[in-house]
Structure 1
Amino acid sequence: MKAKTKGRKYTRKRNIAIAATITIMATIIIISALNQQTKKETNPPKEDPNKYFLFLNAEAQGQKLSGSTTALKIEYLQFNLIPVGGDAHDVVIFAEGMTNPNNYWYQEIKNGTTQSIAIQFGTPIRVIKQSDGTYLIEIEIYSRETWRDKHIFKMRIDEEIGNYVFLKEE
Structure 2
Amino acid sequence: MTMIDEEWFRTLDRFGKVGSRHHVVPKFLLQKWADSNERVWAKSKHDRIEGVRNIRDLAITDFYTFLADDGHLDARMEEVLSVVEEHAAAVLRRMNNPLATQTILTPREFGDLVDFVAFQITRSPRRRREYELMADWSGKTMAAGTLAAKVR
**TM-score bracket, shorter-length normalisation:** under 0.3
Larger Rg over CA atoms: 1
Task: Kindly indicate which of the two structures has a greater share of residues assigned to helix.
Answer: 2
Taking structure 1 as the reference length, the TM-score comes to 0.18
Taking structure 2 as the reference length, the TM-score comes to 0.20
Task: Kindly indicate which of the two structures has a greater share of residues assigned to strand.
Answer: 1
